[in-house]
Amino acid sequence: MPPTALERTNGGLPGLGATYRLYPNVHLGEGCEIGDFVIIGVPPKGKLPGELPTIIGPGAVIRSHTVVYAGNVIGANFQAGHGALLRESNTIGDNVSIGSHSVVEHHVEIEDRARIHSQAFVPEYSTLKQGCWVGPRAVFVNTPHPLCPQVPRCIKGPTLMPGAKVGANATLLPGVTIGEHALVGAGAVVTKDVPPGAVVVGNPAQVIKHIRDLVCPVDGENPYAHLLGAVSED
């Protein structure tokens, strides 16, 4: 098959949809489940089909209408919802989940056990460390001055440290760091770094408490008690 040709499955294998498509140089691990109308290995602008290898580890479940560009390296047990979009050249660890209709732009680093819920937006040059959590419709931003001629010199997405959690509809501005196990409340607008273990809410987001002060309304216990020994009390 010529390298510019598009490969199409015939749906004859267990766990594989009848109409998904693979570009050349796509490598799927054992036991992957690929839904209908999924496209994997789309070449970015300026690259030929198959020029960038695309690697997806074993046990992935990629649901219908998801698009994965070329150059992604994805670990084991990856989960994608319906209609997710992953642009090129991302590094994604094991046991990562990306929800339906979420967008992950290019050159993003996502470590093991990170979870991104539905309709979230993660721009290029963002970093999501181990076990972090991004709520539905959260929006990350990476450009301090859109259309500025110097954008390529200062573009930088947010960084979520291990275990950081970002609530639904929150907005994170360029370059902010959300500290280890910190919690960003729903709808917050984060304009500066958040300390480890802090709980922030509002616009602009302000620290209102530490996660040691949180109480579950169901059982009256601290939901993060198991983490407190590893998080700063400042």
Query: How far apart (Å, rounded) are the C-alpha atoms in residues 100 and 87?
Result: 15
Looking at residue 114, its amino acid is A
Known active-site residue 145: yes
Exposure string of 138-161, with b = 16+ CB inside 10 Å and e = fewer, is bbbbbbeeeeeeeeeeebbbbbbb
Query: How far apart (Å, rounded) are the C-alpha atoms in residues 86 and 15?
Result: 21
Helix (H) or strand (E) holding 154: helix 151-154
User: In degrees to the nearest 10, what's the CA dihedral of 46, 48, 51, 53?
Assistant: 90
Residue with tokens 């590094």: 91
Catalytic-labelled residue, pool 117, 145, 181, 226: 145
Query: How far apart (Å, rounded) are the C-alpha atoms in residues 95 and 75?
Result: 7
Beta bridge partners of 69: 42
Active-site amino acid positions:
145
